[in-house]
Amino acid sequence: MNYWKEFRKGIWERNPQLVVGLAFCPTLAVSTSVSNALWMTLAASFVLIWSNILISSVRKVVAKHLRIPIFITIIATFVTVVDLLLNAYRPDVYKSLGIFIPLIVVNCIILGRAEEFASKNGVLVSILDGLGMGIGFGLTLVVLAVAREILGANKLFGYTLIPGMKPAAAMIMAPGAFFALALMLWGMNAINARKKRK
């Protein structure tokens, strides 16, 4: 087992959003500011890594036809943990992420990794896989959020960039999210197509 390869693949070659095409809902909805994007990355990665650990350690006990309900229950348990932790220690973050915290349950990346990877591989390599996928997910999310926050609010990490300049408010709204992600996907396709031609 090549540990480095399993860790690395989620960041670029098999990036969850840009290559595989999963988890567009949280990516679009939460990328309104960089701090939201970072917190979402932390929350989703926490759930992803812990569910990978638990699922890969029970993979030999779980009956095959019952695996999906069991995986969903495990994932929902860790989502509840994140939900309670954020509500207790960072109520401001909890409020601004809103329903997208409970919706981590239906984030296709997590169930996808459980089904495709953690249910077939050992604990250590599953942790690395979860870590890589979490970083890949977060990278796309943060890049999108930086672009949207600069253009849509004239801010970065909440600090105003150019005083007195009016931002393009549509970028912080839904339409801007769709356009910005479309451009990112376009760029990714172009890079991959150029690589293939070589």
Partner 1 sequence: MEIKVFVTILLSTIFINNYVLSRMLGLCPFLGVSRKLDSAIGMGLAVIFVMSLTSFITYPIYKHVLVPNGIPYLVTIVFILVIAALVQLVEMVIKKISPALYHALGIFLPLITTNCAVLGVAVLNITSGFAEPGASMGLLKSVVQGFGGGIGFTLALIIMAGIRERLEIADIPENLRGVPITFITAGLLALAFFGFSGMKI
Residues numbered 56 to 75 that lie near partner 1 (CB under 8 A) are 69, 72-73
The distance of closest approach from Cβ of residue 12 to partner 1 in the complex, given in angstroms and rounded to an integer, is 17
- Binding to partner 1 by CB under 8 A, coded x per residue (else -) over 103-132, reads x-xx-x--x---------------------
d(CA 135, CA 104): 16
Which residues make Cβ contacts (< 8 Å) with residue 57, sequence separation at least 6? 123
175 binds partner 1 (CB under 8 A): yes
Residue of 188, 150, 148 whose CA lies nearest to 172: 148
Give the total of residues touching partner 1 (CB under 8 A).
39
Of 6-14, 59-67, 137-145, 173-181, which part binds partner 1 (CB under 8 A)? 173-181
d(CA 193, CA 180): 20
Q: Which residues of 70-92 are buried (b: 16+ CB within 10 A; e: fewer)?
A: bbbebbbebbeebbeebeeeeee
Residue of 188, 186, 155 whose CA lies nearest to 172: 155
What are the two backbone dihedrals, phi and then psi, of residue 154, each rounded to the nearest 5 degrees? 60, 35
d(CA 9, CA 134): 11
173 binds partner 1 (CB under 8 A): yes
Residues numbered 13 to 42 that lie near partner 1 (CB under 8 A) are 21-22, 24-25, 28-29
Considering the complex, state which of residue 49 and residue 111 has its C-beta at the smaller distance from partner 1: 111
Choose, by CB under 8 A, the member of 61, 63, 66, 99 that binds partner 1: 99
Instruction: Count the residues in the chain.
Output: 198
79 binds partner 1 (CB under 8 A): yes
Considering the complex, state which of residue 124 and residue 183 has its C-beta at the smaller distance from partner 1: 183
The distance of closest approach from Cβ of residue 28 to partner 1 in the complex, given in angstroms and rounded to an integer, is 5
The distance of closest approach from Cβ of residue 59 to partner 1 in the complex, given in angstroms and rounded to an integer, is 20
List interacting residues with partner 1 (CB under 8 A): 21-22, 24-25, 28-29, 69, 72-73, 76-77, 79-80, 83-84, 98-99, 102-103, 105-106, 108, 111, 170, 173-179, 181-183, 185-186, 189-190, 193
